[in-house]
Amino acid sequence: MRGGFAPERVHDSSRGTFLPLLVVLLLSVGLSMLFSASHYRSEVLVGNPYYFVLQQAVRVAVGLVVAGALVLIPLEVLQRTVPWMVLGTLGLLLLTFVPGIGVSFFGANRWIVVAGVSFQPSELAKFVLVFYLSYILSRKRDRFEDPGVSIVPPAVVLFSFVLLVYLQNDFSTAIFLLFSGMYVFFAAGVPFRYFAFFFMVGVPLFLILLFTREHRVLRLLAYLDPSRDPDGVGYQIQASLRALSEGGFWGKGMGNGTYKYGVLPEAHSDFIFATVGEELGFVGVVGICLLFAMLVLEGYRIGMRQGEDFPRLLAFSVTTTLALQVLINLSVVCGLLPTTGVPLPFFSAGGSAALVTLMFCGLLGNLSRRGRDPHG
């Protein structure tokens, strides 16, 4: 028995795409909310209330240039670079362990710094992994009964990425990569029996890795009972929920939130949606969620228009990866999941994440131009 997409379902490609409009709207609202959420922290840290938002605007500008290039470069050219994408990303992940290049923050070796510019290779790994797995599994689709040829090689690449990110002490991103990659295997139609084997081995291993680090156990306990850690993770969750609840139906108004003034940690990054809820209220939260939902639906619609396995699988996988990031972040902010460090696309401060989000959008833009024409 197999999962996977239905290759025969191809819709009419004559209709245009709303993707550029949705991206512009999300970026506009995201940068506006980032300024509101970060101006106090920027003023305290560097004496310039515009510091974080200007930094993010520059990163977004770079991301838009890269996204534009991805829209214009033929997919056939991009897929010829797959081996170099994989090797280059593995090399960048390894550089995080090199003294003088890799930089550690809060006990995690997630960043590299070259010429004063920092970059998080694990964010790039999300993009490369989805592209590689979509490409290789769509080519091997008719050979899944021979796992040594079709399934094991991409699985080795997937677990290599996951292992290197885990060794950076970035457990949440490693798990995200794992689930994102497993979705591509599922959508490609890999037989379910291989997933059963994965869960038999993977679940016990996950539990071992989870409970062998004290800070992970504390996060889990704080999630189950925030009052157990009132000054740490539990406090962050409680502050997030209070900020959301105080926003009410209409919110306090853009810029009028109070939790960003040192009350809510990471109010400009991982927990920026709590600031959104406080300032824009239920109406703003629903509006932004609708924008994300429209982006996801548009991504899947682009996928259904494709006439070949690879672009279809790529569109579905890119869209699902973006949707998964949004769902995880919102779930953490609402106290439905333990804190993970997964940023909110288009909103959270962070250059690497912003770049990769726009690269995903660039790929969707490329695919939207192809439609049913495999040479479009």
Res. 372 pLDDT band, cuts 50 70 90: very low
Indicate if the pLDDT at residue 183 is higher than 90: yes
Alpha-carbon distances, residue 12 vs 71, 301, 303, 307, 312 (angstroms): 20, 10, 12, 10, 14
The two tokens of residue 140 are 């091997």
pLDDT band at residue 207 using 50, 70 and 90 as cut-offs:
confident
Using the predicted structure, report yes or no on whether residue 3 has a pLDDT greater than 70.
no
Q: How far apart are CA 335 and CA 350, in angstroms?
A: 22
Alpha-helix residue ranges (DSSP H) falling in the chain: 19-46, 51-72, 75-80, 82-95, 121-139, 147-150, 152-167, 171-188, 192-211, 214-224, 233-246, 272-304, 309-333, 351-370
370 vs 247 pLDDT, higher one: 247
Say if CB 102 and CB 112 are below 8 A apart. yes
Residue 5's Cβ-count burial label (10 Å; 0-12, 13-18, 19+) is buried
**212 pLDDT band (50/70/90 cuts)?**
confident
Residue 232's pLDDT is: 62
Percent with pLDDT over 70 in the chain: 91
Query: What is the pLDDT, as a whole number, of residue 15?
Result: 57
Q: What is the mean pLDDT of residues 266-278?
A: 94
Find the mean pLDDT for residues 82-91: 96
Task: Give the per-residue pLDDT at 178.
Answer: 93
Q: Does pLDDT of 373 surpass 70?
A: no
Tell me what pLDDT residue 220 has: 77
For residues 180 and 127, give the distance between their C-alpha atoms in angstroms, rounded to a whole number.
10
Closest CA to 140 of 157, 124, 123: 157
Q: Which of 232, 236, 235 has the alpha carbon at shortest distance from 215?
A: 232
Q: What is the pTM of this model?
A: 0.91
Question: From residue 95, how far is each of 114, 121, 161, 252, 261 by CA, in Å?
Answer: 11, 9, 13, 45, 36
Handedness of CA 107, 358, 324, 159 (dihedral sign): negative
Q: What percent of the chain has pLDDT over 90?
A: 63
* Backbone φ and ψ of 51, nearest 5°: -55, -55
pLDDT in tens, 115-150: 778 899 999 999 999 999 999 999 988 888 888 888
Separation of alpha carbons 363 and 316, rounded Å? 11
Greatest mean pLDDT among 7-16, 56-65, 208-217, 256-265 lies in 56-65
Q: Could you read off the pLDDT of 26-59 as tens digits, one per residue?
A: 999 999 999 999 999 999 999 899 999 999 999 9
pLDDT recorded at residue 129: 98
Q: What is the pLDDT of residue 68?
A: 97
Condensed to tens digits (0 to 9), the pLDDT of residues 214-262 reads 667 777 777 777 766 655 667 888 899 999 999 999 999 999 999 999 8
Q: What is the pLDDT of residues 93-104, one digit of tens each?
A: 999 998 888 887
Average the pLDDT over each of 262-266, 304-308, 349-353 and give the range with the smallest value.
Answer: 262-266
Question: From CA 276, how far away is CA 269, in angstroms rounded?
Answer: 12
How far apart (Å, rounded) are the C-alpha atoms in residues 365 and 53?
Answer: 26
According to the model, what pLDDT value does residue 5 have?
55
- At 63 the pLDDT is 97
CA distance 139 to 184: 13
Q: List the one residue out of 269, 348, 303, 370 whose CA is nearest residue 130.
A: 303
Q: Give the chain's mean pLDDT.
A: 88
Per-residue b or e along 10-32, where b marks 16 or more CB atoms closer than 10 Å to that residue's CB? beebeeebebeebbebbbebbbe
